[in-house]
Chain A
Amino acid sequence: MSLSRRKTSFGIVAGAAAFAIALTGCSSSDSGGGSSAEPSDDGMMSDEPVTLTLATFNQFGYASSSEGGGDYQYDLIAEYQELHPNVTIVYNVADTSNTARENFFTKLGPGGLADIEAIEVDWLPEALQYSDLLADLTDPALADRWLQWKSDAATDKDGRLVGYGTDIGPEAICYNVDAIEAAGMDASPDAMAAAIDGDWANYFALGKEYSDATGKGFYEENAAMLQAMIGQLEAPYEDPATDEIIALSNPEVRDIYDTLTQASADGVSAGLGQWSDDWAAGMANGDFAAMPCPSWMLGVINGNAPEGNWDIANAFPNGGGNWGGSYLTVPDAGANVEAAKELAAWLTAPEQQAKAFANVGAFPSQPEASNSDAVKSATNAFFNDAPTGEIFTERAAAVTVAPYKGPHYFQVSDAMVNALRRVDEGTMNAADSWAQFEADVNAIG
């Protein structure tokens, strides 16, 4: 036999090893995170040359050259280097938030992160578990810079602020004008805002009216509504004091589940999984009429339904809601913590965030920026010249609650999304799917 047993099992070993590498390969790198520069921390405003690394993902609106070469009005990186001739900024942008997340947590312990690392609100709860590895950014001078709930969410249990807020995603309702009119409803933004304004029961009643008239779903899928509804609860899945999972015993969660599965049975949910190809096509084809719409969603709708006739209602069921947003953090192991703090503070200052908004539409988390004329006067041609700046400034002000997200938040949330999708898809009925959700939640930990 030419192909001996030795060779065979060797291939097997090598194949499996590839996985083991994926798990452990990066964990044993150098421990001194900042081996690159000399200890120059003590000179607060020193003029010594310093190289700062900045790592973000997607588009933060800082510099076009590193963020895919879009048409930006301002280059904030160049601006800072002009103001501080001794500072050189190396700006790296990861393609997705997920790539950045893996990199962040792989290197947070052993070191090797950039001087400033951007994190997304989706993995902020995980990052807060390791807040002792991040520099304390608390600065009394900046205490009022951000919306209260924005900075509260990035403050750990010891009261240390570990992230400077960049953008937020205040939610309005975007709707397909043609679809609403087809149902015989008044599709002017004011009429829609008046119809939406109210509690969730009102919103679902509106949806049912639409679905009964057209035979189509009113909104995309239940998971999208879940995000909006859970986002208005103080402590949906976990007890803030103990981090114990309360999702199964919390009547509010069960209420939301029952409301949504009932809506699904009524045909109000179109059952198009968010971000899927069908979802994008459904947006263009009028398969659903309305969707929760954070400021950053405008570009998504425009991109998916370029021929569509969409508008924005300046209203959101049951008050306000936020979806998404990011922070800048400074890993404590970095070599230039003080200089990095200074840059992070500058980048998240209202003036700069207003420019980032002009660059990529990242809605500022700083009231001073969102109230500035530059932001407030913004309009969006695709949405029938809707005064988007004004709308989202108002929507941001309407947000009063940021739900408590502990270490298990996203596992529970994923299980809940799957539970709702099983019902939307018809693979399980509501009762069975809840039972499966219970089993999934009990397996966490």
Chain B
Amino acid sequence: MTNKIRILLAKVGLDGHDRGVKIVARCLRDAGMDVVYTGLHRSPEEVVAAAVQEDVDVLGVSLLSGAHMTIFPKIIAGLKARGVDDIILLGGGVMPDEDVVALKKMGVHEVLLQDTPPNTIIQTIERLVAERGDR
């Protein structure tokens, strides 16, 4: 990998569970990626704007509030509205398996649920960025 992978990690909505996202942020940083974390309670619009502004490869959204089926469509619509098609969108947290299937159909590239080992997360991101290719 010639360029550092740039990733924005985000917490959206009222959900305050940030244990997982902070672990992921640290693991990805330790793996050599450029990590920006939005902090808590962001709106979908704020997150999309930040992802575009930071020119990230990957946008990772952590949700443990159960509101993923409401929030992801807004993020996907926000990215589309800005004409963005090369940001890899990831979901993480606690979500039912059937929702994971639905999210992937909707355009979320990968969903990494609780208890996913950090190395698996790193490898998944590296693979997805490699598959997308340079931009």
A and B found bound together:
no
